[in-house]
Amino acid sequence: MRYLRSRVVIMSAGLLFAAQPLPGQNDKLEKCDTPIGTLAVVEPEAETIQALGRYGLGTPTSLIRMMVQQSSCFTVVERGAGMAAMQRERELARSGDLRQDANMGGGQMVAADYLLTPDVIFSEGNAGGIGGAVGGLVGRRRGVLSGVGAVAGGLKFKEAQTSMLVGDTRNGVQVAAAEGHARKTDFRLGALGFLGGAAGAVGGYTNTNEGKVIAASFLDNYNNIVRTLRRD
Domain assignment present for 104: no
**Tens digit of pLDDT for each residue in 116-145?**
877 766 554 533 333 333 333 333 333 333
Mean pLDDT throughout 81-109? Answer: 76
Domain assignment present for 38: yes
- Is 164 or 21 the better-scoring residue by pLDDT? 164
Confidence (pTM): 0.71
Quote the percentage of the chain above a pLDDT of 90. Answer: 9
Tell me what pLDDT residue 169 has: 82
Separation of alpha carbons 175 and 138, rounded Å: 18
Domain assignment present for 95: no
Alpha helices (runs of H) in the chain, residue ranges in sequence order: 46-53, 61-71, 81-94, 129-135, 204-207, 209-231
Q: Are 10 and 120 in contact (CB under 8 A)?
A: yes
Domain assignment present for 85: no
Separation of alpha carbons 83 and 85, rounded Å: 5
Domain assignment present for 25: yes
Tell me what pLDDT residue 182 has: 78
Distances (CA, A) of 167 to 13, 116, 183: 34, 9, 28
- Range with the lowest mean pLDDT among 63-67, 92-96, 150-154? 150-154
Distances (CA, A) of 97 to 86, 101, 103: 15, 12, 13
Tell me what pLDDT residue 133 has: 36
Please provide the average confidence, as pLDDT, over all residues in the chain. 70
Please list, residue by residue across 117-139, b when 16 or more beta carbons sit within 10 angstroms of its beta carbon and e when fewer do: bbbbbbbebeeeebeebbeebee
Please list, residue by residue across 145-184, b when 16 or more beta carbons sit within 10 angstroms of its beta carbon and e when fewer do: eeebeebeeebbbbbbbbbbbbbbbeeeeeebebbbbbbb
Q: Which domain holds residue 184?
A: 4-77+112-231
Domain assignment present for 83: no
Domain assignment present for 100: no
**Tens digit of pLDDT for each residue in 161-213?**
777 777 778 888 777 777 777 776 445 545 566 665 555 556 678 888 788 88
Q: Mean pLDDT: which of 62-66, 93-97, 203-207 is highest?
A: 62-66
Number of domains within the chain = 1
Domain assignment present for 62: yes
Indicate if the pLDDT at residue 222 is higher than 60: yes
